[in-house]
Structure 1
Amino acid sequence: MPRRSPAWTYDELVLACTLVVDNGWRELRENDRRVQELSQLLRRLPLHGTAAEEIPSFRSVGSVSRKTTDLATNRSDYAGKRTKGGKLDLAVIDAFISDPARMRKAASAIAAGIATGELTQIPEQPDEVADDGTTTAMEGRLLMRWAIARERSPKLRRRKIQDVRAHGSPLRCEVCTFDFERFYGELGHEYIEVHHTLPLYVAGPRETRLDDLALLCSNCHRMCHRNHSGESWRTPDELRACIQTPVRLTDEQG
């Protein structure tokens, strides 16, 4: 059995920093009910496995209180003595300073997903972390996991395709207009990916509507989720605005 608690993840820090921000960027003590409730919530997050739960100090009330101190004292304009916060602490602090409303919504969505049980039942998704092992979304790994799982739902994909067909529209990418069947023939028949146009911190845990989904080719779908300049979620319209003038390669270049 491991003796030390695992390092804090981005998602856990988002939840802890929400308490700090709501408390006027001040630390919270162990006897604070909010710290006690967060300790219980953190122990339920599907991030560290069951082995961590056997460690008595794992996200204990005391450890949560100490983490709120790290977050409160490492803000750039803090005038007192700072505790030893890590790079991830600073990243979350910066995220809350730059867009507090967005980060609060992310924390609420994570808590709601745990409360309903939906987040605890979703297995890890290959694309929920970047190639360097970091989270791919400003809102955290768990919301990205939840969103990817929804997008890959065969039932939702089938319903979206049926809806598009019923309206007489072709199955092609809503960004670049790529048509798999037209390009690959029978092999590409009814192949298309679906993208959730609303981030989960906006949509929340409600049931996904067909209007929330867009049809995309594989490349455009990855670009919609690519973490760049602090953004990791784009609508088809936003991605379409990024498209540059196509460059045709000559025989010599290709």
Structure 2
Amino acid sequence: MEKGAISRDDVLKTMQEYDELGGPAFLSLYGFKAARKFLILHDGKEYDSKAIAAVAHKHQHGRPLTWQELSGGVGHAVDWLKREGFKIGVSRSPKWTRDELILACDVVAGNGWQGLPASDPRIEELSELLQLLGAYPPEERAAEYRNHNGAAYKTLNIASFHPGYQGTPTNGGQLDREVLQDFLERPAEMARAAALLRDGLRSGTLQPALPEGDDTDDDEVSAPEGRVLYRRHRTRERNKALRAKKIAAVLKKGGTLACEVCDFDFSAVYGERGQGYIECHHVVPLHEAGEGTTRLADLALICSNCHRMIHRCAPWPTPAELRALVQEQARVAAATVPRPRPEVADTYPLAT
């Protein structure tokens, strides 16, 4: 649908027809199914965005569009409706993020790995925290977004995947299982992460979450403690003043700015452009160390590649552990390098 193909008045007329016929009859008449994602929110009512946009076409062009004729699909129609001033909502709540599941799983763990009813005060608290977390912007939240019933049902999902559960697992997602497994394998660590999330959200010291995949700078990072705490961890690592102090302390002791893992030296390779450059890695993750003053001893100077490799898979190795891995790989590579074949003359000397 191209902008200008229909007007705002065309949409309002179509909404009136929708109200007169009723939603099911309107959709049946024009061959549309109920919206699976986007709704138009107008005067306290909800309308199927794709059907409304397609049918509105008839007021200026003589006939409605079919669902197949909407060029650009529902997303294009929604963008056009937004430009015309219509408020768009979603028909169902989006998938749960790891940060949200950490909070929910911690509640289930505290209840002996049993799900909780919507009336439980702990569910009320969980629902409030999920609203504070803000894993999705308001326009992507359904009316029942992370309400008491939704939060309670998620605790039942998680509980049903526990190894000790006797019934049939519910229709939770793969991420539910992964977060549960993290809690079973590292209970103290994950409980600490949940506590830091709760405290940070209540105090306002933690920034709202981003859905998985939206933080393109860290798209290949494994962060079992969630994106919120990981982003806070990275903020500490990128603290320019702290980095400068660490570099100054190393140089004062006669050290160099070579990677503590692989010995890469930016100035040796890039000359003046690489002079004084190195990244800082906080050796102790935030979910283990907690908020507090960072000591210079907690920081390691490493190159970009090694820093990426540390954060790529959980649990994160220490710089010393990754250095041992690099050295072992070098030894293996050296041992497998083929030796040059001896010359025939050397192997079989000619008779004299």
**TM-score, with structure 2 as normaliser:** 0.64
| Cα distance between partner residues in 2 of 1:187 and 1:155 | 20
> Following superposition of structure 1 onto structure 2, how do residues 9-24 of structure 1 map, counting pairs within 5 Å?
9-24=97-112
Does 2:321 match 1:238? yes
> Following superposition of structure 1 onto structure 2, how do residues 103-182 of structure 1 map, counting pairs within 5 Å?
103-120=190-207, 125-130=215-220, 136-182=222-268
What is residue 201 of structure 1 aligned with on the other side? 287
RMSD: 2.2
| Cα distance between partner residues in 2 of 1:126 and 1:156 | 25
Could you tell me whether the CA contact under 8 Å between 2:208 and 2:228 is conserved in 1? Answer: no
**Which secondary structure does the structure 1 equivalent of 2:325 belong to?**
coil
| Cα distance between partner residues in 2 of 1:83 and 1:45 | 25
| Cα distance between partner residues in 1 of 2:93 and 2:315 | 29
Aligned-pair CA distance for 1:52? 4.3
CA deviation digits over 1:105-151, x for unaligned, max 9?
12112223323323217887534332xxxx62222222222212221
What is residue 57 of structure 1 aligned with on the other side? 144
| Cα distance between partner residues in 1 of 2:208 and 2:152 | 28
CA deviation digits over 1:192-211, x for unaligned, max 9?
00001011110112232222
What is residue 93 of structure 2 aligned with on the other side? 5
**Which secondary structure does the structure 2 equivalent of 1:245 belong to?**
helix
| Cα distance between partner residues in 2 of 1:195 and 1:126 | 19
What is residue 223 of structure 1 aligned with on the other side? 309
Q: 2:325 corresponds to which letter in structure 1? A: C
Could you tell me whether the CA contact under 8 Å between 2:99 and 2:226 is conserved in 1? Answer: yes
**Which secondary structure does the structure 2 equivalent of 1:233 belong to?**
coil
Does 2:124 match 1:36? yes
Could you tell me whether the CA contact under 8 Å between 1:20 and 1:27 is conserved in 2? Answer: yes
Could you tell me whether the CA contact under 8 Å between 1:113 and 1:205 is conserved in 2? Answer: no
Does 2:300 match 1:214? yes
Unmatched segments (≥5 aa) in structure 1: none
Name which one, 1 or 2, has greater alpha-carbon Rg: 2
Q: Which has the higher contact order (CA 8 A, sep 6+)?
A: 1
What is residue 174 of structure 2 aligned with on the other side? 87
Does 2:163 match 1:76? yes
**Which secondary structure does the structure 2 equivalent of 1:27 belong to?**
coil
Could you tell me whether the CA contact under 8 Å between 1:173 and 1:179 is conserved in 2? Answer: yes
Could you tell me whether the CA contact under 8 Å between 2:207 and 2:228 is conserved in 1? Answer: no
**Which secondary structure does the structure 2 equivalent of 1:223 belong to?**
helix
**Which secondary structure does the structure 2 equivalent of 1:43 belong to?**
helix
Aligned-pair CA distance for 1:232? 4.2
Report the number of matched residues: 242
**TM-score, with structure 1 as normaliser:** 0.86
Q: 1:72 corresponds to which letter in structure 2? A: A
Q: 2:321 corresponds to which letter in structure 1? A: E
**Which secondary structure does the structure 1 equivalent of 2:301 belong to?**
strand
Deviates more, 1:151-160 or 1:217-226: 151-160
Q: 2:130 corresponds to which letter in structure 1? A: L
Could you tell me whether the CA contact under 8 Å between 2:132 and 2:208 is conserved in 1? Answer: no
Aligned-pair CA distance for 1:36? 0.8
**Which secondary structure does the structure 2 equivalent of 1:120 belong to?**
coil
Unmatched segments (≥5 aa) in structure 2: 1-88, 339-352
Q: Which of the two has greater helix per residue?
A: 2
| Cα distance between partner residues in 1 of 2:209 and 2:100 | 17
